[in-house]
Structure 1
Amino acid sequence: MSGTKASVIPAAAVAACLFVLAGCAQLSQAPDSDYRQALEKAITAGRCDGDSVRDLWSAYDRWYAVASSIAGHPKTDEAVALLRQGDQFRILGCPEVARASYRTLIRRFPEDGFVPLREAARASLQTLPPPLPAPGTTPAPVPAGPALVRPPAEI
């Protein structure tokens, strides 16, 4: 009978550990996982606006907020993700999402360690077409060429 008790106790302990581990697996994913899934969904959708892009920004903002709350966390992954996101949307033909990604990187990461990433973002901004005018506004006319100024006529 003592042999039976000895084999039941370890089996019960293993079962309890598996139950606890299964409960841990049910916890929500890390914020960067949510962001990666949202980025994949937005790129797969191939749209420059809409729910998938809004979900992408929400997931990124949650990730950034969590990372910012950890003392001493370097946030390099978050900055690199913005640069990569901008590049992917630039290639996809979504200059406004790309522009917002690059500008967010420049604004949120002013520390010295992010200089190369900010410079890359600025260079990428230069490759984008000019921003669209805000709805309801008329863009200023662009002169066709330099205006020629005639000297005053001599009297």
Structure 2
Amino acid sequence: MGPLRAVASLGGIGFLRPAPGTWGSAAVLPIALLPAWAALVAALVFTLAGYWAVARLPEAAADPGWVVVDEAAGQSLALAAASGWIGVALAFALFRAFDILKPGPVGWADRRKGAFGVMADDVIAGAMAAAILLILAALGLA
């Protein structure tokens, strides 16, 4: 496996079946043990590395199931707003729901072509999950 495919598939995690996107999201859950700023840095690194790899892999532009670096980026962003194990579970569930159901801006980004579309829908899904977690925390509910 070359470096581009390794980045895009998170070292091969994207080839796990079933549900490679869920495996890709689960792979970054240990980031929840780090401070929020580290999760934000991880989200940025996954986003930039993912865009770099996907833009250079013609077969990745159509967002095949094995490309899961986008899930790592979005999940990391959601985890930056998580507090405690309930927050981590909510971050995971909300991110996966937004990634799968593609509401509003997630669906819009998913319809974009190329590396931007591959990466943007998951980053937006992660941002939406993080926003909900921050609102719940402000209300004292999470």
TM superposition score category, shorter chain reference: 0.3 to 0.5
TM-score, normalised with respect to structure 1: 0.33
TM-score, normalised with respect to structure 2: 0.35
More helix by share: 2
Structure number with bigger Rg: 1
